[in-house]
Amino acid sequence: MRPIIALDFATAAKTVDFLNQFPDTPLSVKVGMELFYGEGPQVIAAIQKRPQTEIFLDLKLHDIPHTVEQAARQIGRLGVQLTTVHALGGPEMMAAAKRGLLAGAKSAGVLAPKLLAITQLTSTSQAMLNQDIRIPGTVLASVRQLAQLAHQAGADGVVASAQEVQAIREVTPVDFLVVTPGIRPANAASDDQHRVVTPQQAKALGSSSIVVGRPITQSPDAVSAYQSIKAAWED
Ligand SMILES: O=c1ccn([C@@H]2O[C@H](COP(=O)(O)O)[C@@H](O)[C@H]2O)c(=O)[nH]1
């Protein structure tokens, strides 16, 4: 899979300006909360006008199962390729999300998005987990357990740091997706990310795909930044 560019922009206009720098380039992009809450489903329709563009709608649903099922039903109607829930919402909630996506997609006559479960956010460090959130144990063990739960609940994959891919692969089938944000080229600032790897390391560790935002979107030359990350990932 191509690297997924996180389109963390405030407006559709900024998003379209950004995408226009990549004419005729097939892209995979992620729409997150900032853009979707600001612009609504119309921004998905606007991006879908662009040929050969896969959309990952990353809204990280986390609520009671009924509410998540109804929200997922709406997402399922949009014709996006990937979407997310928090695994910490539990197996019933993840199964409800999957049902909602399938029902929504069927009612709209589109393919259902694949469902990814967020394990532990890549901004969570070991110290934060144990000392601030007061959850005992290692991040690695927690991610492995949540990935197993996500698979049993019917998710198609998880979001985790590439640092945990090997542990996830021990408890899930080979076709289970492990999509990994927290990607930084060597020497780049890690910003608020804690469990960070380079694109080359993510590849070597067995990520299914990488998600990259600021190293591309905040670069003065976004096209070169994307191409160099893509080359490093595909190398
Ligand atoms: O654990 C997670 C889950 C989602 N994300 C999202 O990925 C991008 C990363 O952006 P960068 O600018 O490359 O840090 C962003 O949209 C997050 O919401 C994540 O980072 N970690």
The arithmetic mean of pLDDT across residues 163-170, rounded, is 98
CB distance 34 to ligand 1 below 6 Å: no
Task: Return all residues near 24 (Cβ < 8 A) that are at least 6 apart.
Answer: none
> Which DSSP string do the residues of 144-209 spell out, in sequence order?
HHHHHHHHHTT-SEEE--GGGHHHHHHHS-TT-EEEE--B--TT---TT-SS-B-HHHHHHHT-SE
Q: Which amino acid is at 27?
A: L
pTM recorded for the entire structure: 0.98
Measure the CA–CA gap between 98 and 92, rounded to whole angstroms: 10
| pLDDT digit string, tens, across residues 121-137 | 999 999 999 999 999 99
Residue 212, number of CB atoms within 10 A of its CB: 25
181 lines ligand 1 (CB under 6 A): yes
Q: Which residue's alpha carbon is at the smallest distance from atom 10 of ligand 1?
A: 213
Number of domains observed in the structure of the chain: 1
Ligand 1 proximity of 207 Cβ (cutoff 6 Å) = no
* Annotation says 63 is catalytic: yes
Smallest CA-to-CA distance from 217 within 225, 227, 229 is with 225
Q: How many DSSP H helices and E strands does the chain contain?
A: 11, 8
Backbone angles phi, psi at 216, to 5 degrees: -100, -50
| CA distance linking residue 69 with residue 103, whole number of Å | 9
**Could you tell me which of 36, 58, 37 has the C-alpha nearest to residue 45?**
36
Answer yes or no: are the C-beta atoms of 15 and 42 closer than 8 Å.
no
Percent of the chain with pLDDT over 90: 99
ipTM: 0.99
pLDDT in tens, 47-69: 999 999 999 999 999 999 999 99
Q: What is the pLDDT of residues 185-224, one digit of tens each?
A: 999 999 999 999 999 999 999 999 999 999 999 999 999 9
Q: For residue 188, what are the domain limits?
A: 4-234
Query: Taking 90 as the threshold, does the pLDDT of residue 4 lie above it?
Result: yes
Closest CA to ligand 1's atom 11 = 213
CATH, residue 73: 3.20.20.70
pLDDT band, residue 20 (cuts 50/70/90): very high
> Is the per-residue pLDDT at 235 higher than 90?
no
The Cα 92–Cα 153 span in angstroms is: 7
One-letter amino acid at 53 equals T
Q: Other CB atoms closer than 10 Å to residue 121's CB: what's the count?
A: 19
Catalytically annotated residue among 14, 63, 106, 191: 63
Mean predicted lDDT score pLDDT of the chain: 98
92: exposed, middle or buried (Cβ count in 10 Å: 0-12, 13-18, 19+): middle
